[in-house]
Chains A and B, each alone.
Chain A
Amino acid sequence: MTRKQKRLSVIAGGLAFLGAATGLTFYALGQKASYFYMPADLTTASVQPGQRIRLGGLVEKGTIQRGQGATVAFSVTDTHKSVKVTYTGILPDLFREEQGVITEGTFGPDGTFVADSVLAKHDERYMPKEVADGLKAKGVWQESKSE
């Protein structure tokens, strides 16, 4: 191989490598990114059972049920619609009724959302940004809640 050919093959190798990495990245973005929904969005969006999504909203008052063991059931609402969620594990410290939460998981065959992680806001002053934006978009945001 001449010097030029050598150099070209090195460049071609590098580009092939970058191309493969780019392809993998976009494939992964398509497959592994999880969409955020509020309960009312679910009537229009098509979410397959087993598809991983993030569901956000407020914990509906009076719906928290602690069952046997460490499983908890509660409803997440955006005041228009609510969705029943079950979760096994330790709830975050700031998990309370009428607080903003984001749950992540999949819908079970019976329409219950099985969450494997529950995030509440980080301190008493803020609400998860997605939830706050979603509530604002639905016109149920009260400014007093932000403080």
Chain B
Amino acid sequence: MVETGHFALVLAFALSLVQTIVPLFGARLNNQRLMAVGGPVAVTGFALTALSFVALASAYASSDFSVASVWENSHSLQPLIYKITGTWGNHEGSMLLWVLILTFFGALVAAFGSNLPATLRANVLAVQGAIGAAFFLFILATSNPFIRLNPAPIEGRDLNPILQDLGLAIHPPFLYLGYVGFSICFSFSVAALIEGRIDASWARWVRPWTLVAWMFLTGGIAMGSYWAYYELGWGGFWFWDPVENASFMPWLAGTALLHSAIVMEKRSALKIWTLLLAILTFSLSLLGTFLVRSGVLTSVHAFATDPTRGVFILCILTLFIGGSLALFALRASRLTAGGLFHPISREGALVLNNLFLTTATATVLVGTLYPLAVEAFSADKISVGAPFFNLTFGPLMVPLLVIVPFGPLLAWKRGDVFAVAQRLMMAFAAALLATLVTALFIDGASVFAALGVGLAVWLILGALTDLAVKSGFGNVAAGIMVRRLLGLPRSVFGTAFAHLGLGLTTLGIVGTLCFGTEKILSMHAGETVELSGHTLRFVGLYPAQGPNYSEDRGRFELIGVSGSAIGEISSAKRFYPVRQMTTTESGIRTMGLSQLYISLGDEGNDGSVVVRLWWKPLVTLIWGGGLVMMAGAAMSLMDRRLRVGAPARRRKQASAVPSAGLP
């Protein structure tokens, strides 16, 4: 089975070369048969990669330690679910997952792209094939997951205990679906540059892919953030760690792309900019892959530091980013510029959105790469952390959030800010009220905290105002309003939900950062502690045994008003003997939207234990907002205009175009 997987991988590499070359020449020569090769090859390449992946996963599931990668990252005592997720919990396997998703998207274009013009489709598949070829070669040359060991060891070295968590089942696949999903937008852009032709329908094809990638990237980042929050025991949800930034930059650029693609589709403006943004977004995804996989950074994600890998990915990075930007420089002038518009309009608002988002992306990029540059050019070593990003990213985000509710309410071409402001009056009044109430009635609320709450309320109500206005709230009878609301295009709901999610996340961040409390103390069994009105009693430490670890579980009782226990929270120190590694399992109790968080520290000589407690108000909204954003993207995807393979009539028409339009 393992050799089958290895063979399939080599074959997939060969097919990716075919997929790169044949359709590209086909499009050049306008040869239908050569162009038609791309589709079946892409689908077969995906099937082979999937076979290869399944082979590796089954080696992991059956603990076949004759495979080096399994030996290094698995153990026979691990629960089955972690054996399977361990397939991508290491460098080699995660790269295989990367190309699996890449070929999956390529196969989707092949399967659902029948309504694309034949040359565009061929070029897209060729570019997609080229990216695949580079990464297949990378895997086979430097990170082959199928290398055997002889003699085979009896026992494996265990998966890093931090990764032995359900988070590993969701976070990397979602993140990669996002990262790699943007490769389609990239391929479409490069294909458009090769053809030297771009129009509004191009944006209609690209937008669903952007939405899909953005949706999964949002989920991947949110899941990664929650995972780090509960797994690392530090109680933080975002650390401005370079690896987090690596996923955040494509998200910011992808968000900008999502918005500029709307302008291009609706108004056929911002064409060249949208194209450039699509290239940049995937370039940032590649950069993220490089930062995480090359070992230039120290982090949980840097599984191994092998310099040849870093150099190899750097070459891929240079080739694709440099190549596509060079092509852009050569060809962009050929593309016709789009329509003009008044600065105060929906287009204008979206341009403003893009200006803020791309600048924010640039500051994150500078903050992430600056330490690497300093280290390369001088002997100094520096780190750029939260203080830098709070000072640069914060001031860029706040004005953007303030103008978000205006955008969807402005008309295309020429908007009226005063009319929109009038419609947002209620939301503004409520936000002002929330600010005042926070400032006056909540103890210890700073001016920033009050303004933060106001901003979040403004975003949430602004998003709802959009729906209310568009369904005629206040102008028509309730029954008609409901009917109109249900009749609104799904993309309107998509926008409203995405912006609503943004507001909820903002509220969660403000709540946690401004109203959270924290205590560090050393406790003996039987002692109680109070935190923000919650009383906890430390019951004691109890040893326990897991499948591949032993633990000391610290039990805490939550004491109610009556003095009796109303619930239990437990946090543990786990010891994994194979890796000689200790981890902290945090104890979390969700109360409404807020959480009590307990992290256990070292045991003192006198039998006391260091305990760190947090009260995190509204913290769940941070990730809940992410889910709402994902729901928004899903609704937008279901919009009639974008539905893949929609009306049969249109498809017939579209497929008739190439035969009629081309000689």
Contacts and interface: CB of A to CB of B under 8 A. Distances in A.
Q: Do A and B come from one complex?
A: yes
Interface of A: 6, 10, 14, 17-18, 21, 24-25, 27-29, 31-36, 52, 54, 66, 68-70, 88-91, 93-94, 104, 121-124, 126, 128-130, 133-134
Nearest to B580: A124
20 contacts: A21-B362, A21-B396, A24-B363, A24-B391, A25-B363, A28-B391, A29-B384, A32-B384, A33-B383, A36-B380, A66-B602, A69-B522, A70-B522, A88-B520, A89-B520, A91-B602, A93-B581, A94-B582, A104-B383, A124-B579
A43 to B, nearest CB: 15
Contacts of B579: 123-124
Nearest to A10: B343
A90 B581 contact: no
B584 interface: yes
Contacts of A35: 380-382
Contacts of A18: 359
A15 to B, nearest CB: 11
B448 interface: no
Contact residues of B: prevailing secondary structure:
mixed
B605 interface: yes
Contact of A93 (B359, B370, B583): B583
A90 B355 contact: no
A134 B355 CA distance: 41
Contacts of B522: 68-70
Given A28-B388, A91-B601, A123-B581, A70 B521 contact: yes
A66 B363 contact: no
B392 interface: yes
Nearest to A134: B381
Interface of B: 160, 162, 233, 297-300, 302, 305, 343, 355, 359, 362-363, 366-367, 370-371, 380-385, 387-388, 391-392, 395-396, 520-522, 573, 579-584, 599-602, 604-605, 610, 612
B521 A69 contact: yes
A32 to B, nearest CB: 4
Contacts of A17: 355, 359
A28 B382 contact: no
A62 to B, nearest CB: 15
A71 to B, nearest CB: 9
Contacts of A31: 387, 391
> Closest 4 A-B residue pairs measured CB to CB?
A90-B601, A36-B381, A32-B387, A32-B388
Contact of B520 (A25, A70, A94, A123): A70
Contacts of B383: 33-34, 36, 54, 104
A15 B299 CA distance: 36
A93 B584 contact: yes
A93 B311 CA distance: 33
A25 B380 contact: no
Contacts of A130: 298, 381
Nearest to B582: A93
Nearest to B386: A32
Contacts of B381: 35-36, 54, 130, 133-134
A6 B342 CA distance: 10
Contacts of B580: 124
A122 B387 contact: no
B385 A34 contact: yes
Given A28-B392, A70-B521, A123-B579, A33 B612 contact: no
